[in-house]
Amino acid sequence: MIHITLPDGSVRSYEADVTPMDVAKSISEGFARNVISAKFNGTTIETVTPLTTDGSLVLYTWNDSEGKTAFWHSSAHVLAQAIEELYPGVKLTIGPAIENGFYYDVDFGNISISEKDFKAIEDKMLEIARGKHEFKMRSATKAEALQLYKGNPYKTELIENLEDGTITFCDHATFTDLCRGGHIPNTGIIKAAKVLSVAGAYWRGNENNPQLTRVYGISFPKQKELTEYLELLEEAKKRDHRKLGKELELFTFSQKVGQGLPLWLPKGAALRERLENFLKAAQKKAGYEMVVTPHIGQKELYVTSGHYAKYGADSFQPISTPKDGEEFLLKPMNCPHHCEIYNNSQWSYKDLPKRYAEFGTVYRYEQSGELHGLTRVRGFTQDDAHLFCTPDQLDAEFKNVIDLVLYVFGSLGFENFTAQVSLRDPENPDKYIGSLENWEKAENAIMSATIDKGLNYTVKTGEAAFYGPKLDFMVKDALGRQWQLGTIQVDYNLPERFNLTYKGSDNELHRPVMIHRAPFGSMERFIAILLEHTAGNFPLWLMPTQAIILSISEKYEKYAEKVLNLLENDEIRALVDHRNETIGKKIREAEMQKHPYMIIIGEQEEKENKITVRQHGGEDLGMISIEDFSKIIKTEISKTLKSF
């Protein structure tokens, strides 16, 4: 007998060679019908894999992220089979599951596929799926694997890097693929499939290698779910921050300036400034001091911090000066500069904590194929802060930063989020700097603060920064997509590398603890996500223009200017549309520009010294006094923007 521990802590006994599916059936036949993947002792296995030892078993359904991974990984095999049958002679490479769906990279040779070919591929996939073919894993020798793929240089390269005895294949129907495993029981579970797009992709991401065609797809266990997903995609296209950013005149890009380097237009710059001022006001109340650091630093600064060793080879290369041997780097991080600011003075324990904040622009060389609007750029501004405190102050300081992050989220309408505690990977110590003792202290501090604050959290091993563990905030937007926004990190290592000290009550020198913190993360990425979350309908306090004044004709321009002055005196951001256009056209264009309120002025309004107010989206508030309109604006803002 073997003993299987389930996620609820219960232990069940079975005969050796029991399969995960057998275990599922022993729990409930109904549950077993929904099980599509399994993990045993932390390793993903098939639902039909015999279990021969004691261990922990987790069973996954479509509702689990691991279940979706297995579903989409299996679907990638079906996509590959469909392509191979429709286009004989193509060379398959790799096809993983991704966050939403899967892809397969294919060398099509001289064949070019486009959107017109998608339906044929989808139909073939569903034809294969209806066969209810089981996914079966088998081992193969290196010689057998090389023989099978003797005409495919891509698979051959993969096999050459594998050890004999570790090579496995997955078979279903008449199709075979090199694979480590992790599949659904059979193809019949796939009820709906869609080819989403094709794109170019270099083999193994290296631009010196051949270019392949990457075919993206997605699949579901129900047609209804695919329909809902495609509707979501259409809504996402409408909300695409690149589209909205252009329509709302917030930012642009220029090939002459360079890829991944956004240019902020006046409206976008004003939006950024309001966000910065919002956070600066909260930081001031929380005891932060603003600092400013240069955009470059000597290479040695980043060698000391460890950033050069970790990122130097893949980032912007050193800048040589006329002085022999002198090299500078574009700033990849603000933290080394803040360490040197701390080092400018001698501190006592009575002076701590020191909280330095900066909206600091940093530069990282992202591959051109990975650049995407504002979410992936080469130059971006972080709302960075670094807190230097005693070990005794760490818990309170960390919790205060959590409060600040939650205040930011609440003021901007991000209400659906979870916290992710990102820890080091104990199996891969070379990824990190610093002693095990310091890492354990930092990880324990984050876990303690997270639990005490009552956050809904998950733990992710291997996701820590190279210098310390972190607490990341995973936010769901209006479309249900998850984004990482806001991060807090505990760092015992940089204080050691920069020899940071303070004099303790014992009159001896001690090492401070460092907290890295960025509620927005980066201004660029945050604004992109906020644009898509709100569809450009920002919270009223943040809108570039809170009200636009539309006069029915030129006769009422003077009264329009009077209304504008009164609103501006009440600190309401407004403007007048002076154009000689029909009121209907002005209203339509104001709607497109997403102005929250439209103030319509004509003969009756001027006569009664009032305004007619129309809200974005079509609701008519009728004719009211300017004072009452100001109260409406201030009441709405106060509901969202509470004091910190």
Stretch (H or E) spanning 211: strand 211-220
> For residue 537, with 0-12 CB atoms within 10 Å meaning exposed, 13-18 middle and 19 or more buried, which class applies?
middle
Q: Half-sphere exposure (CA, 13 Å, Cβ side) for 70?
A: 27
335 annotated to a ligand binding site: yes
Catalytic residue flag (residue 364): yes
Catalytic residue flag (residue 239): no
Rg (CA), the chain: 29
Contacts of the segment 273-276: beta carbons below 8 A, 24+ positions apart: 274/541, 274/542, 275/520, 275/523, 275/526, 275/527, 275/542, 276/359, 276/383, 276/523
d(CA 638, CA 644): 12
SS3 state at 46: coil
Q: List Cα–Cα distances, 389 to 223, 333, 450, in angstroms.
A: 55, 20, 18
Q: What is the DSSP letter of 571?
A: T
Check 272, 364, 525, 595 and give the catalytic one.
364
Q: What tokens appear for 291 in the block?
A: 């600092």
Check 335, 339, 533, 595 and give the catalytic one.
335
Catalytic residue flag (residue 386): yes
Check 331, 378, 516, 595 and give the catalytic one.
516
Check 384, 472, 477, 491 and give the catalytic one.
384
Catalytic residue flag (residue 272): no
Check 91, 155, 337, 382 and give the catalytic one.
382
> For residue 368, with 0-12 CB atoms within 10 Å meaning exposed, 13-18 middle and 19 or more buried, which class applies?
exposed
d(CA 107, CA 213): 6
Residues found in the chain: 644
Check 470, 533, 610, 614 and give the catalytic one.
470
Torsion of CA 513, 518, 519, 521, to 10 degrees: -150
516 annotated to a ligand binding site: yes
Q: What tokens appear for 60 in the block?
A: 């996954």
Sheet with strand 319-320: strands edge to edge: 296-298, 327-330, 319-320
- One DSSP character per residue, 70-84 reads HHHHHHHHHHHHHHH
Stretch (H or E) spanning 115: none
The one-letter amino acid code at 196 reads: L
386 annotated to a ligand binding site: yes
Check 73, 378, 386, 424 and give the catalytic one.
386
> CB under 8 Å to 327, separation ≥6 — which residues?
298, 299, 318, 319, 320, 321
> For residue 288, with 0-12 CB atoms within 10 Å meaning exposed, 13-18 middle and 19 or more buried, which class applies?
buried
Q: What tokens appear for 627 in the block?
A: 């004072």
Catalytic residue flag (residue 179): no
Binding residues: 335, 386, 516
Binding residues for Zn(2+): 335, 386, 516
Residues recognised as catalytic: 335, 364, 382, 384, 386, 470, 516
